[in-house]
């Protein structure tokens, strides 16, 4: 299925465009997630991190790293920022919700729709990235790029 989208100018290009400039709907969803994040406690973030640790890397490596490396680096950098004790709680909460949104198979466009569902995830990530990318350090990006190079 991925070959079909690549041959027809599909998913990878649309995902790249959406990740560079999210649609209004995705920016609005990202804003709602970030509002929810402002109410998360350290315990809530810890629970989210546990789920992310169990599910994120498997889904990530299996799906996204092959479609769009730029989006893959952003997601992995968010994952490493979530694990960094120097990142403020509000930013960790935002990253946690972005990663949980990526893991959730039922969202604006369900992940069960091959590849198209990931476009939705990339759009929400782009919206959150607009607000929180300042909390991603060069070290987080380097860790993400190193992980992808060895995947």
Helices (H) and strands (E) in the chain, counts: 9, 0
d(CA 17, CA 150): 26
d(CA 76, CA 73): 5
pLDDT computed for residue 24 by the predictor: 82
Render 47-82 in DSSP notation, one character per residue: HHHHHHHHHHHHHIIIIIHHH-HHHHHHHHHHHHHH
In Å, how far are 27, 52, 131 from 32, measured between CA atoms?
9, 20, 12
- Kindly give the confidence (pLDDT) of every residue in the chain, 151 residues in length, as a single tens digit, with 9 standing for 90 and above: 343 334 334 444 555 565 567 778 877 877 887 888 888 888 888 888 887 776 776 666 666 666 677 878 888 898 899 899 999 999 999 888 888 877 776 665 655 565 666 677 777 778 888 888 899 999 999 998 998 887 6
Q: What is the pLDDT of residue 136?
A: 93
Say how far apart CA 148 and CA 4 lie, in whole Å: 24
Residue 8: the pLDDT is 39
**Where exactly are the structural domains of the chain?**
2-150
pLDDT for res 5:
34
For position 89, what pLDDT does the model report? 92
Q: Is 10 helix (H, G, I), strand (E, B) or coil?
A: coil
């Amino acid at each position: 299925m991925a070959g079909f989208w690549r041959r027809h100018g599909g998913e990878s290009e649309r995902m790249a465009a959406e990740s560079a400039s999210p649609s209004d709907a995705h920016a609005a969803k990202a804003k709602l997630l970030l509002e929810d994040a402002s109410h998360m406690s350290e315990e809530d973030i810890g629970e989210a991190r546990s789920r992310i640790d169990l599910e994120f890397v498997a889904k990530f490596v299996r799906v996204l790293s092959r479609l769009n490396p730029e989006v893959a680096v952003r997601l992995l950098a968010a994952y490493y920022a979530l694990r960094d004790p120097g990142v403020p709680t509000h930013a960790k909460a935002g990253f946690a919700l972005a990663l949980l949104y990526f893991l959730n198979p039922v969202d604006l466009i369900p992940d069960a729709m091959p590849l198209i569902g990931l476009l939705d995830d990339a759009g929400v990530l782009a919206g959150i990235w607009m607000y929180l990318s300042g909390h991603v350090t060069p070290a987080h990006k380097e860790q993400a790029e190193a992980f992808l190079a060895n995947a």
